[in-house]
Amino acid sequence: MRRVIRLGVNIDHVATLRQARRGRAPDLLAAAHAAVLGGADQITVHLREDRRHVQDDDVRRLKASLSVDLNLEMAATPEMTAVALEVRPTIACLVPEKRAELTTEGGLDVSGNLDRLRETTDALRAGGVAVSLFVDPDERSILAAGEVGVRAVELHTGRYARAAGEEERLREFFALKQAARTAHELGLRVHAGHGLDYGNVWRVAALPEVEELNIGFAIVARAVFTGLSAAVRQMRDEMLRARDVAERGQ
Ligand code: PXP
């Protein structure tokens, strides 16, 4: 059986550029449509508590105009839950959030926050919003995620992406591989993302359990030179090629 892999394009950094001048350009909706034209299966945005890039109204307008899924990354707080229940994205990815961080630094401490994550997940599911949890690729986090009642886990690929050398990269990759297997065995869908780029995406895209990658920075950075649709198409091609090679090798 051929297992599909989807690409969620995170357009936070298009909003980062717009917020640099607090104006209207570059237009986030136009960026989303360009990403869809390039083959994005989903648009992903992170509405941060400090609203440093994406704004509440962006999320509303994206939901109203998109023909593909909308993935809202958010902290598991009452404020963000209220926004998600109003906007009703296809899926909400719960992430830990620290105000001073440049980007989401680590996965959720699932076992340490079981009650809060269950409560948020129950509220979102009751409102018709599926939930995924952004977790580090370790057994403890995956097993705890299995107890929350979510549809999916998104495996944090940051340590793999930042690895200093091949030995460390392989160690981090095997952690992802094992975590993907465990999550799949628990009946969770497996997504992954963070720090993935055109050079490192292939190993993760080749994992048969991984159904979706959410990628932002590398695509937006390349788009400066190629345009967004082309940058998305190139990433999709890399993913599909890796998946094809892996399947033919099996
Ligand atoms: N997935 C999650 C949960 C994230 O927080 C981020 C960063 O916003 C990404 C994926 C995308 O990471 P990057 O921009 O490094 O591709």
Catalytic sites, residue numbers: 46, 73, 194
Query: What CA–CA distance (Å, rounded) separates 250 from 246?
Result: 6
Res. 178 pLDDT band, cuts 50 70 90: very high
The tokens for 93 are 């990815």
Query: What CA–CA distance (Å, rounded) separates 191 from 103?
Result: 18
Residue range 115-119: average pLDDT?
96
Contact indicator for 193, 157 with CB cutoff of 8 Å: yes
pLDDT at 1 (0 to 100): 43
Which is nearest to 6 in space by CA: 213, 217, 192, 198?
Answer: 213
Res. 97 pLDDT band, cuts 50 70 90: confident
pLDDT at 2 (0 to 100): 55
For ligand 1, atom 6: residue with the closest CA: 194
State whether the beta carbon of 194 lies less than 6 angstroms from ligand 1.
Answer: yes
Residue range 217-245: average pLDDT?
98
State whether the beta carbon of 9 lies less than 6 angstroms from ligand 1.
Answer: no
**Closest approach atom of ligand 1 to CA 161:** 15
Residue 199 scores a pLDDT above 80: yes
Burial class from Cβ neighbours inside 10 Å (0-12, 13-18, 19+) for residue 44 reads: buried
The rounded Å distance from CA 105 to ligand 1 centre is 10
pLDDT at 100 (0 to 100): 67
For ligand 1, atom 3: residue with the closest CA: 134
| Domain housing 142 | 6-248
Residue 189 scores a pLDDT above 80: yes
Return mean pLDDT, the chain: 96
Residue 49 scores a pLDDT above 60: yes
**Closest approach atom of ligand 1 to CA 197:** 16
Res. 204 pLDDT band, cuts 50 70 90: very high
Residue range 87-112: average pLDDT?
87
The rounded Å distance from CA 223 to ligand 1 centre is 17
For 87-134, give the DSSP string: H--SEEEE----TT-SS--S---TGGGHHHHHHHHHHHHHTT-EEEEE
Residue range 121-145: average pLDDT?
97
State whether the beta carbon of 195 lies less than 6 angstroms from ligand 1.
Answer: yes
Residue 179 scores a pLDDT above 60: yes
Contact indicator for 199, 215 with CB cutoff of 8 Å: no
Better pLDDT: 1 or 177: 177
pLDDT at 105 (0 to 100): 75
Res. 191 pLDDT band, cuts 50 70 90: very high
Burial class from Cβ neighbours inside 10 Å (0-12, 13-18, 19+) for residue 246 reads: middle
**Closest approach atom of ligand 1 to CA 196:** 16
Residue 1 covered by a domain: no
CATH for 169: 3.20.20.70
Domain count, the chain: 1
Residue 99 scores a pLDDT above 70: no
What is the reported pTM?
0.96
Res. 4 pLDDT band, cuts 50 70 90: confident
Query: What CA–CA distance (Å, rounded) separates 107 from 157?
Result: 10
State whether the beta carbon of 8 lies less than 6 angstroms from ligand 1.
Answer: no
The rounded Å distance from CA 144 to ligand 1 centre is 22
